[in-house]
Structure 1
Amino acid sequence: MKTASFRLVSPLRVDCFFLPGVEFCETAANFQFWESVATASGATHLREKPTEGKLQYGSTASVDLPHDIALLKNTVTVPTDYVHAQFPHISVTHVQWQLCDFGVLLVETFLTVDIQEREAADVEQDVQAAAAYVTSHAITENYNDLKNTIMSVEGYENFVVFQGETPVENAWASRALILDRENAGAEEYHFAEAWLANNKERKGIVEKLERGEIHHSADWMNYIYVRETPENRAEMQEAWKALLRAQFFYSAMGRIDSQLTEILSWAMSRSEDISTTKLREQLRQEMDFAEALLLKKSEVGKFVNPSSRQETERILDVWDFDDVLADPVSTKLQICQARIDNIENERRRSASFFTDLILMVIGVTSILGTALAVVSLGRDASVDPNQTVYDLGAGDLTTWIATQPIDVILLISTIVSALMVIAFVFARKKSES
């Protein structure tokens, strides 16, 4: 039976987010908080205790950095036959996860797969399904336990925020074939070539892997990495870590992009139930996350050795990170801001219109009331000499008003009110144009 080893990377979207800026402005308190979480959950804390006078570049390696992408790491105990009932050709070796910022949980699943007389496309579908199965069961349960542990630590709300309707959501599963050059034969190399079916240069890549000229091929979703040996261990660990960083940055920016798309969709909606205050809060939060992600990428890049950093950037370039995610996120931030401003301006104009309309109605009512009061006063004065004892003239205006029918006075008042309404509407249209 021919078998092959696979190492899958699944960036899961979870509802745990680190508060932007806390890691850098409250370093000691942040370290102590996550140290407490690691102790309580049994996970490994990947941050070093902040100390003064420590060298920033203590090693040429970039595998274990003091400010890398992950905070916690743990291995999940999974029986070898965990997925065997669902996928008879697959056995799980072990599973481990890393909790990162921006709602990303990086899961690595190690599999052994029977490839005897099987097409690479079928194996590809099976390993993806196996990764999703592991995530839906073992990882979801493990993450929920971690979440409860975090929330049990006093003052956790000063360091993390939980948001989102789905605690754990699958994004994708990248598939790396682990090639054992020492034991690989023609069949294994043929399978490796088929594994890179979407790469036009697959034949040349496999030949270089066979001759030892290169040690890995990481372009889009299906990868090949040679098995670690004492001679290549450092290089392979650096290359794999570069892949994990690329997966993290792409997944984190993708989540921000999805959130901005949702905010923009609501901002474009004509529904009257939209809360601009809530949308603006969400937009402000996503802006903070986007800025914090760029800060994180820059901070990690400062301490990564050049070869590993270049590999991460190469992978992101292959995935068109800037064109597909980074630039659209920047554009959507501007569009969302403009849309929300327009909604608020329209609602402000609408509120102003109704305020002016109410004042106009009050004015019209006052005109009608005043006209009727003047008629009543004129008639009372014309029949009561005591009210005109101090008048020096004949009171022609009072006499005229007193002799007019009520209908005439109401008609005149209505005409005046109509003219006011016309003038008001004309003035509003002119101001809006």
Structure 2
Amino acid sequence: MHEFRFLAPIRVGFTTLPGALDRDAERCQSLWEQIETDIARRKGWTLHRTSRRTPVLGWSRSSGDVLRRPLEVASAQVPVESIPAVGTRLEVDELGWTLYDHNVLLVHGVLRTTEHVSTDEFDDVDLWEAEVQRVGEQLARRCVDTDITHLLQRIRRIPEASDLVRIEELPTSQPLWVTRALVHDPQRGDEGFARRWVARIDAEHQRMIEQLLDGERPFVAQWLNHVHLSTETEAVSWHWHALRIAQFLWAAMHYIDDELRQILAWSMADLHTVSVSDLRRELRAMVNQAQDLLMLRAEVFQHLSRSSLAEVQRVLNVWGYTQLLEDPVRAKLSICGDRLTALAEDRAARSAMFTDIILMSIGVTSVLATAIALVQFGRDAGQDPSQSVFDLGGGSITSWLSSQSMDAILILSLLASVILVVIFIWKRRQSIS
């Protein structure tokens, strides 16, 4: 019999709004207490943010994690009897999930081979690698479609929830990956299968598996296919705890990176095809969420125990977390900042242009007022001797203007005003572009 553990991060449409846990701590607690009241009948569910915690004395345990607040939002153990059959080769021994902020759900479980497996299938590493992934994906989707859907629907019914959390309607997607860990029992004598489980990854895994089989290390955990010693339960449990933190950080950053890439792609389109206000709102929301995750990572690293921190950092370094995810996200945040600045400048320029057009329109009416005043003055001067006594000769311009019809003067003045406004707008748009 083979035994496997799996861990699958999958995206869900839930996150606490950036900063809400600090600025609205009491309201957040009240929100989760209301939710707890409604789902209390569901056995095995735990909401981790319902009770007000007393201020934590920093680093009060030398060998344990002391976080200011739990990373987990909710978690549950799914009753095995409620899980439908997943095939003829594997059966589910345990299944659970943990919901985090930043749209991450981690589904984890234990699988065992059934008695229907043939001898040839039992030794086929490729078969079990694919089978654990298939079952892990199936179970992750099931947890989203049943438990998480119910939880998010309950949250939506609370009026003030939208001020504290963001819930999106997302189709159930595939997990990012399914980490599959072979639980090796030295008493079963399946060393050959354990070697083949990691042999094709790289030479480092081959060296590590020999150390594990010799009893020199409790697990081999570098890249997706892991091996755990069944006799080292405490060390494996500690590693699994650190692995879940590392997978949460990677998955959350991956989803943010994906969102930033999509939003920046829209920002590069012709602004006539997108809503500038919606684009600005989405950019700001994702910038806030990314910065919130970076601050959360720094806080978690600060308060983890030294052993947990070393293991989390080891796993993230093996995966290339900083180079492959965090640095690109920081670069995208810089681009988003530049884009927001450009949008703000463009908006200010357009607002200034609108104001200038109004002022220009008011100003050009002086053309009409001046023309009418000259016509009126010319006509009055021609009829009033007291006005013409100072004029040593007939004013040709004044006389000509006074002899024109008022309608012609009005039309010419309006035409001149329109031409001036058009020239101004054309030159102004050139300066903006």
Give the equivalent residue in structure 2 for 1:133.
138
> How many angstroms does 1:246 deviate by?
0.3
The CA RMSD over aligned residues, in Å, is 3.9
Give yes or no for contact 1:276–1:340 (8 Å, CA) kept in 2.
Answer: no
Give the equivalent residue in structure 2 for 1:219.
222
Cα distance in 2 for residues equivalent to 1:414 and 1:328: 57
Give the equivalent residue in structure 2 for 1:173.
178
2:207 to 193, 204, 208: 204
Query: Partner amino acid for 2:202?
Result: N
> How many angstroms does 1:425 deviate by?
7.7
Cα distance in 2 for residues equivalent to 1:424 and 1:138: 62
CA 1:339–1:206: 2 relative to 1, 3 Å? same
Instruction: Determine helix, strand or coil for the equivalent of 2:176.
Output: coil
> How many angstroms does 1:293 deviate by?
1.9
2:5 to 4, 7, 13: 7
Give the equivalent residue in structure 1 for 2:16.
18
Instruction: Determine helix, strand or coil for the equivalent of 1:88.
Output: coil
1:184 aligns with 2:189: yes
Give yes or no for contact 1:177–1:224 (8 Å, CA) kept in 2.
Answer: yes
Provide the aligned length of Structure 1 versus Structure 2: 421
Deviates more, 1:297-306 or 1:315-324: 297-306
1:123 to 122, 125, 128: 128
Query: Partner amino acid for 1:285?
Result: A
CA 1:274–1:115: 2 relative to 1, 3 Å? farther
Task: Please give the per-residue CA displacement for 1:381-431, whole angstroms capped at 9, x wherever unaligned.
Answer: 69xx6456643135423334456899x989997997799579848964896
Give the equivalent residue in structure 2 for 1:287.
287
CA 1:368–1:76: 2 relative to 1, 3 Å? same
Task: Please give the per-residue CA displacement for 1:163-198, whole angstroms capped at 9, x wherever unaligned.
Answer: 35447663322222222223233443343244xx22
Cα distance in 2 for residues equivalent to 1:141 and 1:272: 41
Give the equivalent residue in structure 2 for 1:317.
317
Instruction: Determine helix, strand or coil for the equivalent of 1:20.
Output: coil
Deviates more, 1:249-258 or 1:30-39: 30-39
Alignment of 1:77-96 (within 5 A): 77-79=79-81, 82-84=84-86, 87-96=87-96
> How many angstroms does 1:143 deviate by?
0.8
Cα distance in 2 for residues equivalent to 1:333 and 1:396: 70
Gapped runs of 5+ residues in structure 1?
none
1:391 aligns with 2:422: no
Give the equivalent residue in structure 2 for 1:238.
238
1:111 aligns with 2:111: yes
Instruction: Determine helix, strand or coil for the equivalent of 1:117.
Output: helix
> How many angstroms does 1:257 deviate by?
1.3
> How many angstroms does 1:247 deviate by?
0.2
Cα distance in 1 for residues equivalent to 2:329 and 2:65: 29
Deviates more, 1:7-16 or 1:44-53: 44-53
Give yes or no for contact 2:96–2:107 (8 Å, CA) kept in 1.
Answer: yes
Taking every aligned residue pair, what percent have the same amino acid on both sides? Answer: 28
Task: Please give the per-residue CA displacement for 1:252-303, whole angstroms capped at 9, x wherever unaligned.
Answer: 1112212211221122111314333333333333233223223322333334
Give yes or no for contact 2:208–2:220 (8 Å, CA) kept in 1.
Answer: yes
Deviates more, 1:390-399 or 1:234-243: 390-399
What's the TM-score once normalised by structure 2's chain length? Answer: 0.81
Deviates more, 1:289-298 or 1:22-31: 22-31
Deviates more, 1:249-258 or 1:60-69: 60-69
Give the equivalent residue in structure 2 for 1:346.
346
CA 1:357–1:55: 2 relative to 1, 3 Å? closer
Give yes or no for contact 1:216–1:226 (8 Å, CA) kept in 2.
Answer: yes
> How many angstroms does 1:61 deviate by?
4.9
Give the equivalent residue in structure 2 for 1:71.
73
What's the TM-score once normalised by structure 1's chain length? Answer: 0.81
Task: Please give the per-residue CA displacement for 1:310-343, whole angstroms capped at 9, x wherever unaligned.
Answer: 1111111111111111111111112112113223
> How many angstroms does 1:124 deviate by?
2.2
Cα distance in 1 for residues equivalent to 2:404 and 2:24: 83
Give yes or no for contact 2:72–2:100 (8 Å, CA) kept in 1.
Answer: yes
Give yes or no for contact 2:9–2:104 (8 Å, CA) kept in 1.
Answer: yes
Gapped runs of 5+ residues in structure 2?
none
Instruction: Determine helix, strand or coil for the equivalent of 2:326.
Output: helix
> How many angstroms does 1:245 deviate by?
0.3
> How many angstroms does 1:243 deviate by?
0.4
Instruction: Determine helix, strand or coil for the equivalent of 2:272.
Output: coil
Cα distance in 2 for residues equivalent to 1:351 and 1:154: 36
Instruction: Determine helix, strand or coil for the equivalent of 1:256.
Output: helix
Give yes or no for contact 2:10–2:104 (8 Å, CA) kept in 1.
Answer: yes
Give yes or no for contact 2:182–2:194 (8 Å, CA) kept in 1.
Answer: no
Give yes or no for contact 1:14–1:169 (8 Å, CA) kept in 2.
Answer: no
Query: Partner amino acid for 2:166?
Result: V
2:156 to 140, 151, 155: 151
> How many angstroms does 1:210 deviate by?
0.5
Query: Partner amino acid for 1:126?
Result: E
Cα distance in 1 for residues equivalent to 2:144 and 2:430: 62
Cα distance in 1 for residues equivalent to 2:248 and 2:225: 17
Query: Partner amino acid for 2:292?
Result: A
Give yes or no for contact 1:92–1:111 (8 Å, CA) kept in 2.
Answer: yes
